[in-house]
Chain A
Amino acid sequence: MSFLFPAFLIGLAGLSLPVLIHFIRRKKLQIIPWAAHRFLIASIKRNKQRLQFEDLILLLLRCLLLALIVLAFARPFFKSDLKPGADAAAAGGDAAQVILLVDHSASMGWSDGVRTRFDEIRDLAETELGTLPGGASVAVIAYSDRVLPVIARPTRDLALVRRELARLHPVTRGSDLAPALRAALDLFDTLPRAPRRIIILGDRQKLAWQNREALDTQAKRATEGGVTVSFRAPAGDAPVNLAVTRLDADTADAVSGQPVRFFVEVLNGGTAPASQIRLTLSPDGDTPAAEKIISALAPGARAQAEFTLTFADAGYHAVTARVPSDSLAFDDTRTLALRVTAGVRVLLVEGGPPAGSRTRPGFFLAEALAPVPPARRPSFPIQVERIPAAEFSAARLTGIRAVVLAGVPPLSAETATALDRFVRNGGGLWVFPAAGDVVAGDPLAALLPADTGSATPQAAAATTPAGPPYAHPIAGLWDDPSNGTLSSVIIRRHLPLTLRPSAEAAEKPEVVVKLADGSPLLVARPLGRGRILQSAIPADTVWSNIPILPVFVPLVQRGLAWLQGGASAPGALAPDEALTMRVDPALLGREFRVLAPGRTGTPVPAGRVELVGGQPSVRFTATTEPGLYRIFNDAGDTPIAVFAVNPDSDESDLTPVDPVRITALTHEAPATPGVKPVASGSRLPAWLTRDIWRLLAGTALVLVLAELWLAQRFSRSK
C-alpha cells in the first residue's frame, strides 16, 4: 500500500484528541457540594461496567473515525493485480495522474476541407477523458517546437480540461516531441507518487520524432518511473502538401531600378506526387509579377526556382512566393522584406601615385563599383567619389554609405575616430592594404577584424582561394558553379591576417574567403550598426590577378551590398524569434510602434528604443504570427524597419514516422490509423491501481452516524 499524500499521516497524531478533550473537559468540571453520596456511589457501582464499556466503545469509535479521515486524506492505494485489458474504472484507479501531450504544431492545421487534424485530436482527447477512471487528475501540455503548459498541474476538473482543449489552436511552429515528454516527466517528478500515464495526442509527423536520442532517454526515464506512455493519432495520411520552404534574395539592400534575384524552394511534403505546380512571386501583395511551373514533384522532393524583380521605388518592399492552396495552408506562402535604396554614395580613398594613373590602388575598385561606361555613371545607382588620402577627413563622410580605403597610409587619430563613429552609425568600411609592408601604429587597426602581418615574399609560390562551399553570403554566389568560380584567381602575395577576438559575439570577425592554405583572404566584422571588410591583398594586378577577372565585379558589388546591410532589418525571421535592430542613436528612449501582419490603420506602441549591447536598438519579441511586420518610430509614417516572419519550413514535411519508433516509446502495438489501440501486455495495468479513499470516506461517514447515534443513546438517563 502506498499513499498519494503521505504528509497527511501526521494527522494520526489527532488520535489523541478524544483523550485530550476528555482531560480538558475534566478541568472545566462543575463542582457541587453533595449530601446524597450513598445513592451516587450505589448508582455508579451498579453502572460502572456498562459505563466503562460505553466509554470504551465511543473512544474506539472516535479514534477509528479520526484515523479513517486521516487515511482518506492521505489517499492510500494498492497496486492493482488486474489482468491486462481490465476495465480501469472497475479497478477503481481513480487516483491516476494523466498528462495529455497535445501537438498543436502547424501540421495539425491540415484539413480535409471540413475538419482539421486538430479537431480530430480534440475528439481523441475527449474519448480519452471519457474513459478515465473517476478521480483521475489531468494536466495538459501543448507542444510544437516549444512546450506550452496549458494546465500545469493535474486537476480533477475535467470540464476545465475540456475548456482549455477547446481554446487550443494550432500555431505556425514546428514540432518536437522530446522537450514536451521531458516536461511531462519533470512534472511527474514534482507530484506525489501515483499511477501515472502520458497520452500523446498528435499526428505521426516524422519531424516531431526526429530527436531520437532525446526520445530514447525520456522513454527510459518513463519506464524507470513507472509511467505508461500512450500515443493517439488521427486517422489518415496527408497525400499532398506543397510548401514554399525558402525565399531569399541575393541582397538585403536592393537599389531601385536594379534587378534583384530571388531564390525560391518548393517542397512536396505529402505522400503523393504532385505535378504542374504554379509558383508565383508577388511584390507588395500585388498580383504575381512572375511565375514558374514545376512540372512534377515527387513526395519529399524539393524544387528550386529563381526569379528576378526590379523595384522602381526606394523604401521597404515585401515579396511573397506562393504555391496553390492545399490542405495545409500555413506553408503555401512565404514572404521576404527587402529594403530598396535610391542609390549609394561610396567614398573611395586612395593612397599612392597621383590621380589618373592606372597604378593607383583604387583604379580597379572604382571600375568594379560602377561597372558602366563613363557616360552612364551619373545615373548609375552607385556614385563613387574618388579622393586622395590627403583630402580624407571627417567632413567628407557626410551622406556617404560606404568608405573604401585603397592603399591608404596610416590615418590620423582624429580621422580614425571619425571612421569609427561612421561605422558604428551604420556605415560600411572596406580596407584594402597598400602594396608594401605594414606601417605600425595605424590607429585604424583597432577597428579592423584582423591583425596584419608582414607581406609574403615576392618569391613565394602563388596560391588560390579555397573552393566552395562558402559560409559567408558574399561568397555564397560561387557555391553554384554556374555563377563562376574563384579557382582562376591567383594570389601571388598577401598579408597574413589573424582574426582578432571580440568581446561581443555580435561583432565577432569571420572569414569570407580564405586561401587554399587556410589563411584568410577576406574577413568581415559587424561593428555597431555598420560593417567592415578587410582584404589581405590590395586591389591591383601585382599581388593577384583578381582585378582583371570576371569575378571581381560581383565580388565588389556583393561586398558593397553586405556593407550596407548592417543598418537593415533582417528580411525574415522565424516565429517568436526576436528582432533586434540597431537604429539611429537619436531615437534612444523614444517609443516605437508596430503594425502586425493583417493589421491596417494606426501602428500599436510596442516598446522603446533601448541600449542592447551598448547600441541603441529596437527589440521586438511578439513575432508569433507569420507575415509582414512594419516598425515605425514615434513620429514618422515611414517604417524604420520591415521584416517578415515565416514558419519553420521543416514543419511542411508530413512524412510519417516509422511505427517502430512509436512502439519503442509507448510499448504499444502499432495501431491501425483511427483505431484505438488495445493494451498490449504487461505494461498497461501498471497505472491501473486501487485508490480506496472513497471507501475510507464512506466508512468514516458511517462511523460518524454510528457515533452520533451511540452517543445519543448512551447519554440517555439510565
Chain B
Amino acid sequence: MAGPNHRDLLDPAALNRAESLGFVARTIVEGYKVGEHRSPLKGFAIEFAQHREYTPGDDVRHLDWKVLGRTDRLYLKQYEQDTNFVAHLLLDTSGSMAYGSGKLTKLHYAKILAATLAHVILGQRDAVSLGLFGNNTRQLYPRTDTPQRLPWMLETLAAAQAAGPTNLADHLARFAPAIRRRSIVVILSDFLEDEAAVLATLPRLRFQGCEVIIIHVLDHAELELPFKDTVRFEGLEGEQPLTTRPSDFRKSYQEAVQAYCTAFRQGCERMDCHYILADTSQPPAEVLSTYLAFRNRLHS
C-alpha cells in the first residue's frame, strides 16, 4: 500500500484514509524518538519488579535515588518488562465531534491522537483495544498486541463517522464491567454533555485499577467564540437553532467554557485521572509530546 506524501499529511481529507492516519501517527512517534533518543514506550510499563545493585556500565538514570539517599548504596530499579498491559482507546463519535472551525474536525483530531497512541503502544508490544461510542451504538474491538493488526485498527478508526447525540456516560458505565484487569483507559471526547455523569463513571474504572486518561478535544472556536456579526448556530445534535450576536456575550461565553473545563479537570484530578485539554488549533504531535514528557517525568 503506497503511503501518501507530506502534502497529504496536511490535507484533512487524506486523514480519512487509514494509510494517512497510520503515516501521521508514525511520523509523530518517530519525531518524538528523534528528539528524545529513546522510546517513550517505557513510560507505559507500570509494573515494578525489583532492585539490583549497580555495576559499572549501567545507565545511571535508572539509579534509585531514594535508596541512595537513605542507605548511601547504589541500586537500580528494574521493571516487569515481559508483562504486557492493555490500553483501551475509547473514542466519542457523537454528532458534536463533527464540528471543526479549521481543516480538522474534532473527530479527525481525536482519530489522529488515537491512531498515534495505538501505533506507539503496539510498537512496544503492548495490547490495544478500541471502542467507538456514538449515538446508542457501542463498537468494541477486541484487544490485540500484534503490530500487524495496526492497519486494521486504523481502517476502523478512519471509517468512524460522527452522528447523533452524545451518551458517553452511559457507554462508559456499560463498558467498565468488561475490563478484567488493570489497564489504561484513554477517553477521547469533547465531553459536551453532563460532565457530572461522566465523572461519576470514573470511580468505577479507578476502583478496577485502571489508569484513566481524559483527552478533552475542543475546537479553538468553541473555546474562544471568535465570530463577528450575527450568527445562526445550528445544533449538531438536534438542538434548536440560536440566532445571536456573539460579540454581545463572548467574554461571558469564554468564562463559561473555562469554568466548565476547570471544573471538569478538577473532577478528573480528584479521581486521580490525567486530564489533557486538546485544542484542535494545536498540532496533535505537540499535545501528545507534552503529555508523554509529563508522564516520563512522573514515572522517572
**Which residues in A have some Cβ–Cβ distance to B below 8 Å?**
25-26, 29-44, 46-47, 51, 54, 714-718
B255, chain A: closest CB distance, angstroms: 8
Q: Contact between A39 and B256 (Cβ–Cβ < 8 Å)?
A: yes
Q: Contact between A29 and B230 (Cβ–Cβ < 8 Å)?
A: yes
**Among the listed A30, A33, A41, which residue makes an inter-chain contact with B227, where contact means beta carbons less than 8 Å apart?**
A30
Q: Contact between B227 and A715 (Cβ–Cβ < 8 Å)?
A: no
Bound complex: CA of A717 vs CA of B249, how far in Å?
6
Please classify the interface of chain A as helix (H, G, I), strand (E, B), loop, or mixed, using the class held by over half of its residues.
helix
**Among the listed A32, A35, A47, A718, which residue makes an inter-chain contact with B232, where contact means beta carbons less than 8 Å apart?**
A32
Bound complex: CA of A39 vs CA of B260, how far in Å?
9
Interfacial residues of chain B within 235-253, with CB under 8 A of chain A in the complex: 235-237, 239, 242-244, 247-253
Please classify the interface of chain B as helix (H, G, I), strand (E, B), loop, or mixed, using the class held by over half of its residues.
mixed
Q: Which residue of B lies closest to A48 (CB)?
A: B249
Q: Contact between B230 and A34 (Cβ–Cβ < 8 Å)?
A: no
Contact pattern, B 97-125, Cβ under 8 Å of A = 1, otherwise 0: 11100000010000000000000000000
Whether B145 is near chain A, meaning CB under 8 Å from some CB there, is no
**Among the listed A46, A54, A714, A717, which residue makes an inter-chain contact with B250, where contact means beta carbons less than 8 Å apart?**
A717
Question: Could you write out 16 A-B pairs with CB less than 8 Å apart?
Answer: A29-B230, A29-B243, A32-B232, A33-B99, A33-B233, A33-B236, A34-B99, A35-B99, A36-B190, A37-B235, A39-B256, A39-B257, A51-B249, A717-B250, A717-B251, A717-B254
Bound complex: CA of A343 vs CA of B98, how far in Å?
124
Q: Which residue of A lies closest to B260 (CB)?
A: A39
- Most chain A CB within a 10 A radius of its CB, from B99, B244, B249, B253: B249
Q: Contact between B249 and A718 (Cβ–Cβ < 8 Å)?
A: yes
B188, chain A: closest CB distance, angstroms: 15
Residues of A within 8 A of B250 (CB): 717-718
Q: Contact between B99 and A718 (Cβ–Cβ < 8 Å)?
A: no
Whether B234 is near chain A, meaning CB under 8 Å from some CB there, is yes
Given A32-B227, A718-B251: A40 and B244 interface contact (C-beta under 8 Å): yes
Q: Contact between B252 and A29 (Cβ–Cβ < 8 Å)?
A: no
Whether B96 is near chain A, meaning CB under 8 Å from some CB there, is yes
How many chain B residues touch A (Cβ–Cβ < 8 Å)? 36
**Which residues in B have some Cβ–Cβ distance to A below 8 Å?**
95-99, 106, 190, 192, 218-219, 222, 227, 229-237, 239, 242-244, 247-254, 256-257, 260
Q: Contact between A30 and B232 (Cβ–Cβ < 8 Å)?
A: yes
Bound complex: CA of A54 vs CA of B248, how far in Å?
10
Q: Contact between A47 and B235 (Cβ–Cβ < 8 Å)?
A: no
Q: Contact between A26 and B243 (Cβ–Cβ < 8 Å)?
A: yes
Residues of A within 8 A of B235 (CB): 33-35, 37
- Most chain B CB within a 10 A radius of its CB, from A36, A43, A46, A54: A36
Return the 6 tightest CB-CB contacts between A and B, nearest first.
A35-B96, A717-B250, A34-B233, A35-B99, A717-B251, A43-B253
Residues of B within 8 A of A25 (CB): 229-230
Q: Contact between A35 and B237 (Cβ–Cβ < 8 Å)?
A: yes
Bound complex: CA of A42 vs CA of B232, how far in Å?
16
Residues of B within 8 A of A33 (CB): 98-99, 233-236
Given A33-B99, A51-B249: A44 and B234 interface contact (C-beta under 8 Å): no
Q: Contact between A40 and B243 (Cβ–Cβ < 8 Å)?
A: no
Residues of A within 8 A of B248 (CB): 47, 51, 54, 714-715, 718
A174, chain B: closest CB distance, angstroms: 75
Beyond A33-B98, A34-B242, A37-B237, 17 additional pairs, beta carbon < 8 A: A30-B229, A32-B234, A33-B99, A34-B235, A35-B96, A35-B190, A35-B192, A35-B219, A36-B99, A36-B192, A36-B222, A37-B192, A37-B235, A40-B244, A42-B256, A714-B248, A718-B249
Residues of A within 8 A of B222 (CB): 35-36, 39
Residues of B within 8 A of A37 (CB): 192, 233, 235, 237, 239, 242
Residues of A within 8 A of B243 (CB): 26, 29
Q: Which residue of A lies closest to B95 (CB)?
A: A35
Q: Which residue of B lies closest to A54 (CB)?
A: B248
Residues of A within 8 A of B257 (CB): 36, 39
Residues of A within 8 A of B251 (CB): 717-718
- Most chain B CB within a 10 A radius of its CB, from A31, A35, A715: A35
Q: Which residue of B lies closest to A30 (CB)?
A: B231
Residues of A within 8 A of B232 (CB): 29-32
**Among the listed B97, B190, B237, B244, which residue makes an inter-chain contact with A44, where contact means beta carbons less than 8 Å apart?**
B244
Bound complex: CA of A31 vs CA of B244, how far in Å?
11
Residues of B within 8 A of A39 (CB): 222, 253, 256-257, 260
**Among the listed A29, A34, A46, A54, which residue makes an inter-chain contact with B236, where contact means beta carbons less than 8 Å apart?**
A34
Q: Contact between A41 and B236 (Cβ–Cβ < 8 Å)?
A: no
B189, chain A: closest CB distance, angstroms: 11
Q: Which residue of A lies closest to B239 (CB)?
A: A37
Residues of A within 8 A of B219 (CB): 35
Q: Contact between A46 and B239 (Cβ–Cβ < 8 Å)?
A: no
- Most chain A CB within a 10 A radius of its CB, from B97, B219, B233, B234: B233
Q: Contact between B249 and A46 (Cβ–Cβ < 8 Å)?
A: yes
Bound complex: CA of A30 vs CA of B252, how far in Å?
21
Q: Contact between A44 and B242 (Cβ–Cβ < 8 Å)?
A: yes
Given A36-B192, A36-B222: A47 and B252 interface contact (C-beta under 8 Å): yes
Bound complex: CA of A34 vs CA of B257, how far in Å?
14
A62, chain B: closest CB distance, angstroms: 16
Q: Which residue of B lies closest to A46 (CB)?
A: B252
Residues of A within 8 A of B260 (CB): 39
Residues of B within 8 A of A54 (CB): 248
Q: Contact between A40 and B242 (Cβ–Cβ < 8 Å)?
A: yes
Bound complex: CA of A247 vs CA of B234, how far in Å?
103
Bound complex: CA of A40 vs CA of B97, how far in Å?
17
Q: Which residue of B lies closest to A29 (CB)?
A: B232
Bound complex: CA of A46 vs CA of B250, how far in Å?
12
Residues of A within 8 A of B236 (CB): 33-35
Bound complex: CA of A51 vs CA of B192, how far in Å?
26
B109, chain A: closest CB distance, angstroms: 13
Q: Contact between B230 and A715 (Cβ–Cβ < 8 Å)?
A: no
Q: Contact between A718 and B252 (Cβ–Cβ < 8 Å)?
A: yes
A597, chain B: closest CB distance, angstroms: 78
Bound complex: CA of A136 vs CA of B218, how far in Å?
68
Residues of A within 8 A of B239 (CB): 37
Q: Which residue of B lies closest to A44 (CB)?
A: B244
Bound complex: CA of A47 vs CA of B248, how far in Å?
8
Residues of B within 8 A of A34 (CB): 99, 233-236, 242
Bound complex: CA of A717 vs CA of B99, how far in Å?
23
Residues of A within 8 A of B237 (CB): 35, 37
Bound complex: CA of A51 vs CA of B245, how far in Å?
10
Residues of B within 8 A of A716 (CB): 247
Q: Which residue of A lies closest to B257 (CB)?
A: A39
Q: Which residue of B lies closest to A36 (CB)?
A: B222
Q: Which residue of A lies closest to B218 (CB)?
A: A36
Q: Contact between A26 and B230 (Cβ–Cβ < 8 Å)?
A: yes
Bound complex: CA of A17 vs CA of B142, how far in Å?
65
Bound complex: CA of A40 vs CA of B239, how far in Å?
11
Q: Contact between A32 and B233 (Cβ–Cβ < 8 Å)?
A: yes
Residues of B within 8 A of A718 (CB): 248-252
Bound complex: CA of A54 vs CA of B245, how far in Å?
13
B254, chain A: closest CB distance, angstroms: 8
Bound complex: CA of A696 vs CA of B233, how far in Å?
42
Q: Contact between A47 and B99 (Cβ–Cβ < 8 Å)?
A: no
Bound complex: CA of A39 vs CA of B247, how far in Å?
14
- Most chain B CB within a 10 A radius of its CB, from A26, A31, A32: A32
Q: Contact between B247 and A43 (Cβ–Cβ < 8 Å)?
A: no
- Most chain A CB within a 10 A radius of its CB, from B190, B192, B253, B257: B253
